[in-house]
Chain A
Amino acid sequence: DAGITQSPRHKVTETGTPVTLRCHQTENHRYMYWYRQDPGHGLRLIHYSYGVKDTDKGEVSDGYSVSRSKTEDFLLTLESATSSQTSVYFCAISEPDVSYEQYFGPGTRLTVT
């Protein structure tokens, strides 16, 4: 299995509070992604990174920001959590120079009350 960890694995927070989710990889892959998974929607891309300090938006980026200060870490921040951001969040990595495959982390279940 690809070395991808996510923390925390579960979190319950209140509306209006900031939340940061962390993705850590040991594979030295250039690309990292954040997806959210919701019933009836599959997985949707929030943000992605193609290198240290290089990030771009996905299809559902509103209300989220990301940072990547090291190759191995990609942080997703909800500046002010809302109930609509209750979801399961997955991090993924890839190295497009080698293959198109993405490798996924175990997920973080976030509940905003």
Chain B
Amino acid sequence: GDSVTQMEGPVTLSEEAFLTINCTYTATGYPSLFWYVQYPGEGLQLLLKATKADDKGSNKGFEATYRKETTSFHLEKGSVQVSDSAVYFCALSLIGTASKLTFGTGTRLQVTL
């Protein structure tokens, strides 16, 4: 079946450090890929998305590129802030599946001063 694998956390970084959170997927079709972010005590918010190979999603300084050859969608940010501390979820959705999302287990990011 379809699945998403994320690096385990927590990831602890100092402010202004470079962030990478790895995400790889397996899918029976051609998925759309997403990163969602969950701040403490809140629901999930869409951070960025990509719908086809080589697309780059970007938002709030975060970027991820859809790599079909490596089945990956790694999240990156050049300089993290304390306010980026949250749980990040990678997810996929397949056409014709009612937009159902398959999530990774989430990666907690802690950014310290």
User: Which of A43, A44, A101 has the most CB atoms of chain B within a 10 A radius of its CB?
Assistant: A43
- Of the residues A31, A50, A56, A104, contact of B43 by C-beta under 8 Å: A104
Q: From B33, which residue of chain A is reached at the shortest CB distance?
A: A100
- Is A74 an interface residue, CB under 8 A from the partner? no
CB pair B32 A43 closer than 8 Å = no
CB pair B45 A104 closer than 8 Å = yes
B110 nearest CB across to chain A (Å): 16
A34 nearest CB across to chain B (Å): 12
Interface extent on B, as a size class?
Answer: 20 to 34
- Is B105 an interface residue, CB under 8 A from the partner? yes
* CA–CA, A90 and B103, complex, Å: 13
- Of the residues B89, B98, B101, B104, contact of A50 by C-beta under 8 Å: B98
CB pair B104 A31 closer than 8 Å = no
CB neighbours of B43 from chain A (8 A): 4, 90, 104-107
CB neighbours of B32 from chain A (8 A): 100
Q: Scoring A residues 88 to 113 as 1 if CB is less than 8 Å from chain B, else 0, what string do you get?
A: 00101010100011111111000000
- Is A75 an interface residue, CB under 8 A from the partner? no
- Of the residues A41, A45, A106, contact of B100 by C-beta under 8 Å: A45
CB pair A101 B100 closer than 8 Å = no
CB pair B103 A96 closer than 8 Å = no
- Of the residues B42, B99, B103, B106, contact of A94 by C-beta under 8 Å: B99
5 A–B pairs (Cβ distance < 8 Å), ordered by A:
A42-B4, A43-B89, A45-B100, A90-B44, A107-B43
Q: What 9 A-B pairs come out closest when comparing CB atoms? A: A104-B43, A42-B103, A104-B44, A42-B105, A43-B103, A96-B99, A94-B99, A106-B43, A100-B32
